[in-house]
Structure formats: C-alpha cells, structure tokens
Amino acid sequence: MKTLEEFNAFADQHLEKDLQALDQQRVAGKNWLRRMWVLGLLPVILFAVFFLRPAAAAGSGYFIAIWLLTGIVLAVGAGWLVKRMMLRQPGAVAGVSYQQSFKEKVVRPIIKFINPDFSYQPLNHASYEEFTESGLFARREYNISGNDQVYGKAGNMNFQFCDLKVTHMPLVTLRGIGADVVFEGSYFIAQYSRNFHIPVYVIPRISLSEGLFADKHTDTGYIETWHLGKKVLPADTAFNRQFMVYSPDNDTAQQLLTPALMQKIMALQERSQAKVFISFCNNRIYIGISHGTDYFETDINQPVTNRRMLTDFYLDFISLLQLAEEISE
C-alpha cells in the first residue's frame, strides 16, 4: 500500500493545479447564483411597488384583482426572461460543470493512483441486498442511495467500496420528523474464496447517553442483537470497551478475532472518529463506517482546495483494504 506521504506528493504534483482551476469555477458559479437571487427578486420588488400599491389605493376589489393578476403575469414573465439570460452567462456553465469535473479530474486519478486496475463508477453504490445480507440490520423497507463506487481485486479478494445512505420511514413518527437514518457513511464489502461458516458480528458499544441521543448517522435500533447469536468476550479489554461481539459460536469468534485484527478495527474507529460495524458472513466481510460524510459531493460554498476530504477518503479506503487483507492472510 502507498503511504500517506506518497499520496500527498502525488496530490501536490498531479492534483493541485486542477484543484485550483476547479475552485475558480466554483467561485464563478457562486457569484452567478448570487446574481440570480438578486435579479430573481427584482420583479417581485417591482411588482410590489408598481402594482400592489396602486391596487390598494384603488380600494375596489375588482381593480385589486385586475392589478394582482396583471402583476403576477408580468412578474413571472420577467423572472423567466431573467433566468434565460442568466443561463447564457459563463458562470452558469462553471457552476454546473465544476462538480462534474471534480470527479473526473480529481477522484478518478486518486483511484488510479491507489491501483490502476481498480474501477470507479461515480453513480453506482451497494444494493439493498448487499446491505441487508450483512445480517447486521433488520430487514425492512429501506430507501438506499449512494454513489462513488470503487471495486476491484486485492490479493485473493474482490471488493467494493462506496458512499451509502440507508433510511427507513417508521409507521408511527412525530410530526415534522422525517425518516430514520439507519446508516450513512462508507460501506465496504470484501469477498473471499474461504467461507465464514458461522457468522461473527462486531458492533460499536453504545453508552447510555448515546442511546438516548442517537447518532444521527446510524440508528442502532435497527440492529436486533438477539438475532446475532450469543455475546462473545474477546481477551482484549481495550477492544471490549469499544465493541460488542456476537456469534452463534464462541470459539469461532475468538479464533477469527486475532490480536492484530482487533488492533486494526480499533485503529479504524479511532482514525475515522465514527462508529464502525463489521459482519463476517458466508464468504464476505461487510464493514460500515458511519461518519455521515458523502465523499466527493462538493459544496459550492466550500473551497475544493482544502485537501482534508481527499486525505480522509484515502486513509479510510487504505485502512479498509488493510483490514480486509488481514482476514485473507
């Protein structure tokens, strides 16, 4: 695996120029949006000054209706005309294209830097089946969305990695409260030639306060631990303070969770500063990092020259690959 220092050197040499150019496009798009807001409000202001005031002075309901209808038609027409004119401005193109260009000029080269044989699909993500087959979360009618799928082969394992958001609308909910966020973050699946005949599940330990004020990126109420098997207590006390392990067979779980593997799991959770969920099931390992970040979905109000997001993605991805390779050894 390439080191963080190698990644930073690659970013300096191959990405910095494109990041600067993309940020200029972002600023142009942001300025264009501001002008759109101002010019969009102008017909409304003119309507209020030149139509509503004379209508109110007329005092007649008939004249008020005529003035109001005329003003609405003119305001809508003026707004449409302004929009057509603004869409022809260079800023409109810059505001739309910079987000698309970011993935092609920045994200795709990063994936190729990690491994030229890895494939990157900006619009793809794990499916409903690939989420529920982990066995961690109860089977419900989830809404699955996501993007930025990377898949490939490392050693003797095939893998996929993506941004994923899973929500569920409960039958009963308080007014104004939307769907439950079951999971939101990075989702990784590795498939091996070996088979985990007995499943093993690793879930983060949730404190009482965390249970009362649930993490907005993961609702642990959708994890039905009574279906996961018996509680297992590994020998590593530091690991036990952070995670709970479930499996139908204690010996299998103890044998699978080697000291080196548990260290990598703890390091992943500490580095990401987010809850980590792991399932060893059939011939796959499923890993979810519930950081709530949708990597590479740029915000027009945030500069793209800040490489923190790229670094976090790189470290998450490399950590997941290393953890999965620990299983295959």
- Residue 222 vs residue 177, higher pLDDT: 222
Least reliable range by pLDDT among 43-57, 126-140, 242-256, 266-280: 43-57
What pLDDT score was predicted for residue 213? 45
pLDDT at 92: 47
Of all residues in the chain, the percent with pLDDT exceeding 70 is: 74
Predicted confidence (pLDDT) at residue 212 exceeds the cutoff of 60: no
Instruction: Answer positive or negative: Cα dihedral of 163, 143, 167, 241.
Output: negative
- pLDDT, tens digit (0-9, with 9 covering 90-100), for 84-110: 554 455 544 445 566 778 889 999 999
The domain segmentation of the chain, as residue ranges, is: 4-95, 119-328
Instruction: Please state the rounded mean pLDDT for residues 226-250.
Output: 94
Place 13 in a pLDDT band, splitting at 50, 70 and 90.
very high
Q: 146-201, pLDDT tens digit by residue? A: 999 999 998 889 999 999 999 998 876 655 577 889 999 999 999 998 888 899 99
pLDDT at residue 182, rounded to an integer? 92
Count of Cβ atoms closer than 10 Å to residue 243 Cβ? 23
pLDDT at 269: 93
Q: What is the mean pLDDT of the chain?
A: 82
Arithmetic mean of pLDDT, 282-300? 87
> Helix axis angle, 16-47 relative to 61-87, nearest 10°?
160
The better pLDDT of the pair 32, 279 is held by 279
Does the pLDDT value for residue 7 go beyond 50? yes
Q: What is the 3-state secondary structure (H, E, C) of the chain?
A: CCCHHHHHHHHHHHHHHHHHHHHHHHHHHHHHHHHHHHHHHHHHHHHHHHHHHHHHHHCCHHHHHHHHHHHHHHHHHHHHHHHHHHHCCHHHHHHHHHHHHHHHHHHHHHHHHHCCCCEEECCCCCCHHHHHCCCCCCCCCCEEEEEEEEEEEECCEEEEEEEEEEEECCCCCCCCCCCEEEEEEEEEEEEEEEEEEEEEEEEECCCHHHHHCCCCCECHHHCCHHHCCEEECCCCHHHHHHEEEEECCHHHHHHHCCHHHHHHHHHHHHHHCCCEEEEEEEEEEEEEECCCCCCCCCCCCCCCCCCHHHHHHHHHHHHHHHHHHHHHC
